[in-house]
Every structure is written in structure tokens, then in C-alpha cells.
Amino acid sequence: MRPDAQAGHLPVMFAQCMEGLQVKEDGTYLDGTLGRGGHARGVLEQLGPGGRLLLMDKDPEAIAHAHAVFDGDARVSVYRGSFAQMAQWDATAQGLDGVLLDLGVSSPQLDVAERGFSFGKDGPLDMRMDPDAGESAAQWLARAEETEIADVLFHYGDERMNRRIARAIVARRAETPLTRTAQLAELISSVMPRGKDKIHPATRSFQAIRIHINRELSDLETGLDAALSRLKVGGRLAVVSFHSLEDRIVKRFIAGHAKAPAGNRRLPVAQDFEPMLKIIGEAMRADEQETQANPRARSAVLRVAEKLREDA
């Protein structure tokens, strides 16, 4: 039985993540996106008495779950905060043998209407992974300029009807505040032409607003730098992403530290490139069996890299 089976939550690409991390019994590992702890339990099962597992999440419900499941195990430490803050956590100062990041919104967050992530469940228009920090989606949509809303929908959701949707949001909020997910989903559907694809008209807009509200891409960039700084030589970085914006950042980060930049014959020869990361295998995707059992895994991409040296 997989370590998460009793919890009813399937961590995406579980076996591939465990293989990528190459867990050592006495190693120190950080799961920066704890969620409901499926990956964390898998790591913990492979640790001996001298191993350590560090758990981070900015969602208070995930932290409460971590304390309920892992309190009493001296090998485990829990920290509430974004993985972008991992270098500020004293527990990481001695170095890490592995860092795992499972990006995006978790299934438990999507399943709870009150969190406001899902257009399929009516609830408060919130979308914050940390409900105690920053402004909610409703608060942002109430104050943002039309051009800002349109830019967010386009850049983070690749929404081609971005200007039309932004115009409709601004017009509607002048009449009545947008405070519920169903309100926003219905408004977007009303101004969207019927497409041939099967996705809900609000899918891309909800994704874009969520990414913006939670600063997901900037946190990812900061978190990758922090992970590299805290990894020991030989330590592994494993990142699961769910859309092209995340994966592009991860791919460029790893490649930028693993491959020499392309040369330019018109410029002087640059200093010899010394890679700091080694790419482990090709980008991996979930197999058919997993995608049938867990549709969320269909878009998942796993990239793994190993740290080769300390920064000079």
C-alpha cells in the first residue's frame, strides 16, 4: 500500500518523485509543498533514526494536518510559510540532501468550496493559499484597473478573451460587488463564445487570478534559488509542475545551472563554464494508469537535478 492510500489523497507521480530524490537513511529532506503529506510519508518511510524531514506549507490547514500526523516523530520539523522562505528557516542551515516541490493548488484546497479556488463549487471568492496573508481575489478584483486584470488573465492564463472579460468584471462591479466564485464563473461564461474544447470558460481566468493572488511564479523563482543554496553537493531537487509557465521557469533554472550558455563568435571567449547542477534524466510525465486514477496528473511534469558543487 502506498503511504498515502489511507488518507484518500494521491500525491502526483509518487514513485517517480521517490526515485528522483534517491532518499538516504541519514539524509535531511525538505518537502516545501506539504499538502496532505503523501510525498512526505513516502520520504519518512525511507529515513532511519538519524534522518530528518522538514515540512513547509503556507496553508494553515496543511500545517494542522502535519501536526496531527507527524507530531511525536523527532525526525520531523514543521514550518508554516512559503517554500520561498526555506533559506530563512534555521533548520535548513546545515544543508539538505533533497528538496521536493509539488507546485500549484492541492486537491484538498480545490475540494473545499469555502477556499474559493474552484469555479465548480460556489464559495467566497478568496483563492489565497494562506488565508491570513495578502488580499483575496474578491478584494483584488474590486480595486484593480481594467488593464491590470486583462494583463493577469493573458499572462498567467493565456486567456485570449482577456480584455472582454476584464471589461465585464469592471462593469459588473460598478453595479454589485463580485464576492462569490459562482458569480465570477457565470459572468465569464456570459461573455465567452462557445468553444469546441470541453473546458469550462472560466478555467483559464480562475487559474490566472489564483497565480497572481498567491504570487506563485515569483515564489517559485525565489524558492528555486533558495533550494540550490541549501542543497548539499550530491543533493537532489525534484519539482512537479502543472502548467507551462511553471515548467518553463523550472526548465530554464535547471538548464541555466547545468549547461553552458550558447556562445557568440563576435564576442570574446567567455570564462569556462562550470555546471552547478546535473540534469537527471528527461522530463517525466505520469503514466496512463495514474492519469486514469488521478486526472490532475495529466498535466504534471517532473524535473530532477543534482547539485554538483558549491558556489565559488
For the annotated binding site for S-adenosyl-L-methionine, the residues are 37-39, 57, 83, 102, 109
3-state helix, strand, coil in the chain (%, to 5): 45, 15, 40
Q: Which amino acid is at 218?
A: S
| 244 contacts: CB under 8 Å, gap ≥ 6 | none
Q: Is residue 235 within 8 Å of 96, Cβ to Cβ?
A: yes
* Angle (deg, nearest 10), helices 181-191 and 162-175: 130
CA distance 78 to 64: 10
**Which residue positions form the known binding site?**
37-39, 57, 83, 102, 109
Q: Pairing mode, if any, of strands 231-241 and 76-80? A: unpaired
CB 159 within 8 Å of CB 208:
yes
- Picking from 56, 53, 108, the residue whose alpha carbon sits closest to that of residue 82 is 56
Angle at 44 between CA 43 and CA 45, to 5 degrees: 90
298: exposed, middle or buried (Cβ count in 10 Å: 0-12, 13-18, 19+): middle
Q: Give the Cα separation of 137 and 218 in Å (integer).
A: 18
Task: Provide the b/e sequence for 15-40 (b: ≥16 CB within 10 Å).
Answer: ebbbbbbbbbeebbbbbbbbbbbbbb
Q: Report the DSSP beta bridge partners of residue 100.
A: 31, 238
